[in-house]
Every structure is written in C-alpha cells, then in structure tokens.
Structure 1
C-alpha cells in the first residue's frame, strides 16, 4: 500500500546518502593519513640532512661525497 503514495523508492535515497557519507569520511581519512605521512617524510629527510652536515663538518666524508649524498636526499 505504501507504494501507492510514492514512498516505494525512498530506500534508494537513504542508501545513496549513506554511501555518500561513507565516501566523504573515507576521503577525509585518506587525506589525513597522506598529510601525516608527508610531514613525517619531511622530518626524516631534514634529520638525514642534519646528520650528513655533521659528518661533513667533522671531516668524516669528503666534499664530493657530501654534495652527492645531499643531491640524493633532496631528490
């Protein structure tokens, strides 16, 4: 009897809206994870450059080796 009043397809709308909400939450979660990973990657690279500079200043590596490794870390 409900379908006679135009309510037979209401569940399509509910399902569609639920899927959209789920996709939005998943999308925000993925963006958040990428942001965290990028920040962590930046810190790791920065720390590696600091260690490289210390080794160069202490004379543990040559200028040529320093430049080569710095180029690799920045790429």
Structure 2
C-alpha cells in the first residue's frame, strides 16, 4: 500500500526520500505566503471601506448643517488625501 508506513510512508519523506524534509518546508512556506497575501488583501479592503463610511458621515453632517462648506471641503480633502 502506497500510504503505509515504510518505504513510501512518513519515514521516507523525513529521511531523504523524494526531497527529504525540504519539500515539507517548501510547502509550509507556500502556505504562509498565501496566508500573508490573503491577510494583506483583506486589510486593504477594510481600510478602503472605512474611508467611504467616513465620507458618508461627513456628507451627512454637512447636509444637516452641523458643519460649514469650508469645513466640509477641508475635511473631505484630508480624508481623500491618504
């Protein structure tokens, strides 16, 4: 049986068969790299969404008359400059 412990089993992978322990390290490295890319993309999307929410709240404050047009323009420019 191919997956039994023995010639083709775990012992062979760790003792130099196929690529030895290197193929396990390469696989682990690829998994870590993929996870890092996914985390960075998720963080980037969350950061972009927050700016949209802040601009919407700023617009609401301007429409309700809580801030002047000058304040609105200055704060909008500050938020979109990032």
Give the TM-score range, shorter chain.
0.7 to 0.9
Question: Within the alignment, does 1:63 sit opposite 2:69 as a pair?
Answer: yes
1:28 equivalent to 2:34? Answer yes
**Structure 1, gaps ≥5 residues long:** 1-8
**What does residue 48 of structure 1 align with?**
54
* C-alpha distance in 2 between matches for 1:72 and 1:12: 57
Distance in 2 of aligned mates of 1:44 and 1:62: 23
How far residue 11 of structure 1 moved from its aligned partner, in angstroms, is 5.7
Runs of 5+ consecutive residues of structure 2 not aligned to the other structure? 1-14
Greater displacement, 44-53 / 11-20: 11-20
Once residues 51 and 62 of structure 2 are traced to their aligned partners in structure 1, the CA distance between those partners, rounded to angstroms, is 17
What is the root-mean-square deviation in Å for CA atoms of aligned residues?
A: 1.8
Shift of 1:20: 0.8
Task: Identify which of structures 1 and 2 has the higher relative contact order when contacts are C-alpha pairs closer than 8 Å and 6+ apart.
Answer: 1
The alignment covers a number of residue pairs equal to 67
| Higher fraction of helix | 1
- For the residues of structure 2 that align with 1:28 and 1:56, how far apart are their CA atoms? 43
